[in-house]
Amino acid sequence: MKETIYKSLILSLFLTNIWSVVMFFIYFFESPGWLHGLETLIIFIKTCWTLIVLGLIVILISFIKSIKIKFKIFSLALIAWINVFLSILLITIMSLKITGLDAFYELVLILIISVISVLLIRKLSKQVNIRSNE
């Protein structure tokens, strides 16, 4: 079970690092002017909403009985790690007053999805432990 969670952690760190580098280069090569950085902010907010939708889909998939438990745990852990990363970025952006409170709803939704994902991971891992003990 720990291997599945570690694999999702490694994949999420890999994905968030690639995403961070891409966002840096989008910001770096944006033409200076009045709205410098706006394109990067829009991409960031769209990414937040995309991950909210993906998180909801993964949570709904975790309730389907025919899917393997390891896949459910892997996908839930992956979404939880990425959402925690984005929530830290969102809190940082809000504390620097780059977005103000405009992204408050995104932050709340991301944190709710992360908490639900972690709770479902605990529930599913208990089911795996009960099955392995029998």
Instruction: Give me the residue spans of the domains in the chain.
Output: 2-133
pLDDT digits (tens, 9 = 90+) for 28-84: 777 777 767 777 777 887 888 888 888 888 888 888 888 888 888 888 888 888 888
Give yes or no for a contact between 98 and 47, defined as CB atoms under 8 angstroms apart. no
Tell me the whole-structure pTM to 2 decimals.
0.72
